[in-house]
Amino acid sequence: MEAAQSTCLFLLFLLTCGLPPKVAAEVQESSDGPSASQEPAWLTDVPAAEEFIAAAEVAIIGFFQNLEIPAVSVFRSMVQKFQDVSFGISTSSEVLIHYNITGNTISLFRLVDNGRLNLESKDIESIDDTKLSRFITVNNLRLVTEYSPMTVVGLFNSLVPIHLLLMINKTSPGYEENMHRYQRAAKLFQGKILFILVDSGMKGNGKVISFFKLKKSQLPALAIYQTVDDEWDTLPIAGISEEQVQNFCDGFLKGKRLRENHESEEKAQKVEL
Ligand SMILES: *[C@@H]1O[C@H](CO)[C@@H](O)[C@H](O)[C@H]1NC(C)=O
Ligand SMILES: *[C@@H]1O[C@H](CO)[C@@H](O)[C@H](O)[C@H]1NC(C)=O
């Protein structure tokens, strides 16, 4: 109970501390480009659906009994808005049975934590652009998810209890190269640690940086956070290397802490409890 409570505190803290409201636009920046199809893919059998899900970091399928309901056009209108997400539709009874669908359901499948999230008949009846956009934005977790007030909700809803944050100025020299290495490291910990990018060049993210007791002058830095018991550690770095990220994560998983002060603080607190 303690742990759940403190996680909520952390989450509330992040959510309520003057973060910028315009999230949807930022999330879409990580688009795969204009080549993405503007229509949902038609999934006519189970192998097609399975292949479709396996091929995307985030896939969303509208499982509809028929196409006459208003939710279908709302669903279709999302394709253009979220170009980094794969959209599919199926009305095939074979597919619906396979995915345990009764009624109409919109399901989001994602690779990073093997998660499946559903909007079921009740939600579907009253769905509109705003609700569906929010559902997608919140749950659009990638191998590396950019931190925002919306994605933080999805990150804390994931069953993966350890989060690694890279705090880096996106407009700084070498950013792209660092991100590629961070991406590669993320693959090594898929399903075990959620990798997050915090743009320190964004004013609103200052609160996240100070939560980990880091100063602007110490960035870029890594912070690792265990949502179950609120344990965390940080590592200021000059630039990202895959090996360094791996060592930092492995060390944390094994109970090693680099921040000495923090560790003694934690111990003191635990003794008090
Ligand atoms: C459908 O439900 C059954 C029983 O709960 C479960 O074993 C199966 O994995 C589900 N199928 C899918 C595709 O999630
Ligand atoms: C981010 O980097 C850019 C370019 O180096 C710089 O102009 C800007 O002030 C930095 N922002 C912050 C908040 O450090």
CATH of the domain at 115: 3.40.30.10
Coil vs helix vs strand at 99 = coil
Region 152-181 average pLDDT: 94
**Which residue, 139, 160, 191, sits at the end of a domain?**
139
* DSSP β-bridge partners for residue 106: 62, 119
Are 145 and 186 in contact by the 8 Å Cβ rule? The answer is no
Q: What DSSP designation does 65 have?
A: S
Instruction: Count structural domains, the chain.
Output: 2
Cβ(102) – ligand 1 distance below 6 Å: no
The span from the CA of 44 to the CA of 104, in Å, is 16
What is the 183 CA–ligand 2 centroid distance (Å)? 22
Span of 35-44, 147-156, 226-235 with lowest mean pLDDT: 35-44
38 — pLDDT class (breaks 50, 70, 90): confident
For residues 143 and 221, what is the distance between their CA atoms, to the nearest angstrom?
19
Residue 169 beta carbon below 6 angstroms from any ligand 2 atom: yes
Evaluated on CA atoms 57, 222, 204, 8, the torsion sign reads positive
Are 27 and 128 in the same domain?
yes
Is the Cβ atom of 99 under 6 angstroms away from ligand 1?
Answer: yes
**Alpha carbon of 240 to ligand 1 centroid (Å):** 40
Average pLDDT for 260-272? 51
The pLDDT value recorded for residue 43 is: 98
Tell me whether residue 65 is in a domain: yes
Query: How far is residue 230 CA from its own chain's centroid?
Result: 19
Compute the distance between CA of residue 147 and CA of residue 202 in angstroms, rounded to an integer.
11
Closest C-alpha residue for ligand 2 atom 13? 201
For ligand 1, what atom is nearest to the CA of residue 116? 14
| Boundary-marking domain end, from 121, 139, 157 | 139
Residue 32, H or E segment: none
Domain that holds residue 171: 149-272
Whether residue 14 is contained in a domain is answered as: no
Q: Does some domain include residue 68?
A: yes
**What's the pLDDT score for residue 139?**
97
- Residue 172 Cβ inside 6 Å of ligand 2? The answer reads yes
Amino acid at 125: E
Tell which of 120, 139, 158 closes a domain: 139
Q: Write the CA distances from 186 to 171, 190, 195, integer angstroms.
A: 21, 6, 6
pLDDT, residue 136, reads 97
The secondary element (H helix, E strand) that includes residue 231 is none
The finding on whether 50 has its CB within 6 A of some atom of ligand 1 is no
Q: Which segments of the chain does DSSP mark as H helices, in order?
A: 2-16, 24-27, 46-54, 71-81, 93-98, 121-125, 129-139, 151-157, 175-188, 206-211, 242-253, 260-272
Give yes or no: residues 103 and 25 share one domain.
Answer: yes
- What band does 259 get if pLDDT is binned at 50, 70 and 90? confident
**pLDDT confidence of residue 272:** 43
